[in-house]
Copies of this chain bind each other. A is one copy, B any other.
Amino acid sequence: MKRKTTRVTSYDVAKLAGVSQPTVSRAFTPNASIAKDKRDRVLAAAKQLHYLPNSIAASLSSARSNIVAVIVGDMHNPFYSESLQAFINRLQATNRQVLAFTVEDGRDCDAVLMQALRYHVDGIVVTSANLSSDLISLSREVGIPIALFNRSTSDPTLTSVRCDSVQGGGLLADAMFAAGAQSYLIVRGDPQGSTSRLRVKGFRDALASFGIGDSAITEIDGGSSYAGSYRAISNHFDSPAPQFPDAIFAVNDIMAIGCIDALRAKFNIAIPGDIMLAGFDGIREGRLGPYHLTTVRQPIEDMVTKTLDLLGRDNQGEKSATQVNCVLPGIFIPGRTVPGLVEIAPDKALEADIESISGKN
């Protein structure tokens, strides 16, 4: 005997409350024109029947789904999983839902983006992934706004929000030069992405302004991952006559951590004793005891807020041509991998670090 799960609809509630279906709809709509007593009556009836408004149906008839798609490229980099987390929190707080997608390393996210478009989401956030221009124009055609997060635009007509890589790179160069570094090793990231390139540019520009010439700077390819930079460092110092720098700049934290692990485990190099080192991003892992990474933190919360803001504005349809490229400054975080930094109240800092990592089962 299969019980047909007939769902409770707004009509059922309407009947019980002695009103029409639209009235039920209005009772659940903020700022709707409805008398207080009716609303109460409807809500009571709804509660009695365990009525749950069907958001899918609402989406269909109102043409807004209250869903935002977030496409995350590299879930292995904690920065992006932290970002996803921030998006979920922020959207949830504003009564919207997150449709989460991931994209395999390197592969473009067209298929995934297509899925998102099919659900007629209110907007799409793309993080660390490559999208084809076909899909971009398709999304325009369909009227679903896209925003790039921490990704500068190959297509400048796309809305994007990111951290100022050039400025951030400069901050780190400042700190290292001030700490006395005369020779530098740069561990690059993804050669495709502009992020790595800009960070390196900012870093080198600042060094140049201090009179550090190219001959004092070496660059190696770190593959943009923990494993990649671990290997890159290993290869570098295993080579016959390796350059032995005063300072290392890894273009992101997860790579910086890979460098530290390799330097310590394979070459017994002390940090910052033998070599000073810095990363970029401000991920939680960087604040763990063994690292205490000096880095530049991307203002994730602000970036997320800004991204959703732009996405929403686009959505208002006022002028959908309003593409904005928003760049927020990075925040210098003094750690213990660059010597001589005045840590802000060491004890407090540690305490703060501990809290910031947190984690509860």
Contact = CB atoms under 8 A, between A and B. Distances in A.
A77 B264 contact: no
A55 B112 contact: no
B118 A53 contact: yes
Contacts of A264: 289-290
Given A225-B360, A360-B76, A360-B228, A60 B56 contact: yes
A74 to B, nearest CB: 5
A99 B289 CA distance: 35
Contact of A226 (B7, B65, B106, B354): B354
A38 B195 CA distance: 47
The number of chain A residues touching the other chain, given as a range, is 35 or more
A317 B2 contact: yes
A84 B82 CA distance: 12
A302 interface: no
B115 A97 contact: yes
Contact of A190 (B67, B142, B360): B360
Contact of A230 (B226, B317, B354): B354
Given A81-B81, A92-B112, A141-B50, A55 B359 contact: no
Tallying the copies of this chain within the complex gives 2
Contacts of A2: 317
A176 interface: no
A34 interface: no
A359 B261 contact: no
Contacts of A224: 359-361
Given A98-B99, A285-B285, A105 B360 contact: yes
Contact of A195 (B5, B117, B138, B361): B361
A97 B260 CA distance: 38
Contacts of A92: 101-102, 112
Interface of A: 2, 5, 7, 50, 52-57, 59-60, 65, 67, 74-78, 81, 84-85, 88-89, 92, 97-102, 105-106, 112, 114-115, 117-120, 128, 138, 141-143, 189-190, 193, 195-196, 223-228, 230-231, 251-252, 254-255, 257-258, 260-262, 264-265, 285, 288-291, 317, 354-355, 357-361
25 contacts: A7-B143, A53-B118, A54-B60, A56-B56, A56-B65, A60-B60, A74-B360, A75-B88, A76-B357, A78-B78, A78-B359, A88-B100, A92-B101, A105-B360, A189-B361, A190-B361, A223-B360, A224-B360, A226-B359, A227-B359, A251-B361, A255-B361, A258-B359, A261-B289, A288-B288
